[in-house]
């Protein structure tokens, strides 16, 4: 294969020398026709796998009607998707965005506006160590990735950081200047670190007691990923503000900011964006949400998630690896040694795509409709990849 000419691309990350040209379900194909089993799926984005018929049909049908009418006008798919999400979440108002970071940026702005109006100018948001909320300046400031400590200073002020899962420190960090607490129910980028459901319930109770907002970032965990439409359902709570992205668009750029009616305090000019709520992306979002809401779909996600975790635990026992954790089809395996990057490369050579969010852990986020046979194939290829890295023939 000729070397890929990336000389015109701004360097932001190291990519392997593979050019993907086609995808179908759980499989990607390179320009030499080689197949790769994809357990990354665009970082948990392709909820229904690559190019599923239901999304191709929604996209092409909408493409023949209208693509963009400007967010200053109504369009039918935007209104339909907002209604679907409001009904499913119980949060009455929806604003559409193009990326998770943009939805979170909107959540931060909404909480600050609410604090200005309802809590005597309170603007501080309590966030957690290890959190990942995106790559805009405010969302990087809200994130707790250790490597970002000194980057792009000065950061946006107003974020108070506490240790992940520490309720006592959270309570101590809250005061008259606090308008919200913001967290991911499972810290995906930090290596799939869930908080116990009891912790989520405690945070909900604490925020209610202090009269501040609870913002849940479900960019990674939302839209069926954990076996419920929204991860917070496992804890039987509801946030005041919710952000969705990734799987919501099934692979197209679509994200959403949802809020309770009383918290939806934006006024004209506060929030907007050229592409927001465009009919093309919204039509795809409607088809994703309709599919994930079909009877039996989420049961299947839970069953396949349990199967994936079980097979990974068997592998961990056989190969003396570490913990398997996660929920639904967002699962991590600890490798106990910092060989994640090497395993990812060895897996690519064997036609398997997995991701190492941390040097010593792997993350699995297949299509929500992945099959048992594909899970079996993944385990076989992963076992061979780990053995190769360890020098076992
Ligand atoms: N929040 C969480 C929890 C995420 O996992 C991500 C992306 O990985 C983001 C926000 C940012 O989303 P995007 O990359 O679409 O801006």
CATH T-level fold of 54-292: 3.40.640
Would you call 217 a catalytic residue per the annotation?
yes
Cβ neighbors of 34 (< 8 A, separation 6 or more) are 351
38-90 pLDDT, tens digit per residue, is: 999 999 999 999 999 999 999 999 999 999 999 999 999 999 999 999 999 99
Best of 105, 127, 134 for a ligand 1 pocket test (most atoms within 8 Å of beta carbon): 134
Beta bridge partners of 29: 22, 35
108-121 pLDDT, tens digit per residue, is: 999 999 999 999 99
SS3 134: coil
d(CA 393, CA 389): 10
- Residue 163 to residues 106, 138, 142, 185, Cα–Cα distance (Å): 24, 19, 13, 14
Best of 12, 13, 101 for a ligand 1 pocket test (most atoms within 8 Å of beta carbon): 101
305-358 pLDDT, tens digit per residue, is: 999 999 999 999 999 999 999 999 999 999 999 999 999 999 999 999 999 999
- Residue 233 to residues 43, 201, 222, Cα–Cα distance (Å): 22, 11, 10
> Does position 280 have pLDDT exceeding 70, yes or no?
yes
Cβ neighbors of 366 (< 8 A, separation 6 or more) are 26, 38, 39, 41, 308, 329, 374, 375, 378
Would you call 297 a catalytic residue per the annotation?
no
What is the model's pLDDT at position 1? 62
pTM for the structure as a whole: 0.98
Would you call 11 a catalytic residue per the annotation?
no
Among protein residues, the one with the nearest Cα to ligand 1's atom 10 is 133
Radius of gyration of the chain (CA): 21
- Residue 177 to residues 115, 132, 239, 297, Cα–Cα distance (Å): 9, 23, 20, 43
The second-level CATH assignment, the architecture, of 20-52+296-390 is Alpha-Beta Complex (3.90)
Give the distance (Å) from ligand 1 centre to CA of residue 257: 13
pLDDT (mean) for 214-237: 98
d(CA 125, CA 115): 10
Element spanning 213, H or E: strand 213-217
Q: How confident is the model at residue 287 (pLDDT cuts 50, 70, 90)?
A: very high
Q: Are 366 and 80 in contact (CB under 8 A)?
A: no
Q: Are 251 and 367 in contact (CB under 8 A)?
A: no
Element spanning 180, H or E: strand 178-183
Ligand 1: nearest atom to the Cα of 104? 10
Ligand 1: nearest atom to the Cα of 246? 15
pLDDT (mean) for 148-172: 96
d(CA 202, CA 196): 10
In the chain, domain spans:
20-52+296-390, 54-292
Q: How confident is the model at residue 391 (pLDDT cuts 50, 70, 90)?
A: confident
- Residue 303 to residues 294, 298, 372, Cα–Cα distance (Å): 16, 9, 10
**Beta strand pairing status for 361-364 and 330-334?**
antiparallel
SS3 255: strand
**Beta strand pairing status for 159-162 and 178-183?**
unpaired
Q: Are 242 and 71 in contact (CB under 8 A)?
A: no
- Mean pLDDT score of the chain, rounded to an integer? 97
Structure tokens belonging to residue 194: 């869930």
Pocket, ligand 1, Cβ cutoff 6 A: 43, 99-101, 104, 132-134, 184, 188-189, 217, 219-220, 245
């Amino acid at each position: 294969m000729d070397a890929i000419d990336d000389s015109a691309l701004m360097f932001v990350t190291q990519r392997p020398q593979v050019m993907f040209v086609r995808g179908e379900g759980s499989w990607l194909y390179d320009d030499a026709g080689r197949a790769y089993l994809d357990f990354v799926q665009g970082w948990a984005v392709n909820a229904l796998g690559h190019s599923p018929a239901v999304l191709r049909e929604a996209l092409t049908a909408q493409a023949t009607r209208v693509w963009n009418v400007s967010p200053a006008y109504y369009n039918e798919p935007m209104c339909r998707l907002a209604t679907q999400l409001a009904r499913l979440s119980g949060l009455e108002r929806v604003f559409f965005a193009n990326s998770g970071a943009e939805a979170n940026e909107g959540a931060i702005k909404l909480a600050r506006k609410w604090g200005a109006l309802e809590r005597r100018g309170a603007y501080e948001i309590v966030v957690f160590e290890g959190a990942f909320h995106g790559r805009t300046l405010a969302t990087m400031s809200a994130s707790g990735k250790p490597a970002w400590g000194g980057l792009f200073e000065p950061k946006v002020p107003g974020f108070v950081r506490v240790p992940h899962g520490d309720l006592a420190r959270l309570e101590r960090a809250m005061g008259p200047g606090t308008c919200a607490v913001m967290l991911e129910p499972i810290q995906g980028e930090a290596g799939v670190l869930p908080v116990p459901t009891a912790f989520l319930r405690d945070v909900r109770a604490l925020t209610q007691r202090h009269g501040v907002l609870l913002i849940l970032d479900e960019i990674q965990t939302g839209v069926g990923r954990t076996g419920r439409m929204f991860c917070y359902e496992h804890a039987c709570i509801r946030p005041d503000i919710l952000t969705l992205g990734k799987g919501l668009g099934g692979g197209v750029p679509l994200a959403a900011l949802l809020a309770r009616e009383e918290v939806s305090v934006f006024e004209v000019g506060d929030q907007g964006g050229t592409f927001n709520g465009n009919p093309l992306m919204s039509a795809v979002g409607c088809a994703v949400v309709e599919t994930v809401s079909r009877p039996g779909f989420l049961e299947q996600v839970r069953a396949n998630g349990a199967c994936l975790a079980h097979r990974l635990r068997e592998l961990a026992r056989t190969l003396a690896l570490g913990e398997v954790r996660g929920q639904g089809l967002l699962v991590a395996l600890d490798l106990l040694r910092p060989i994640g990057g090497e395993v990812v490369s060895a897996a690519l050579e064997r036609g398997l795509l997995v991701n190492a969010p941390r040097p010593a852990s792997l993350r699995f986020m297949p299509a929500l409709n992945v099959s048992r046979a594909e899970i079996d194939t993944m385990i076989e290829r992963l076992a061979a990849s780990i053995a190769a890295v360890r020098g076992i023939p």
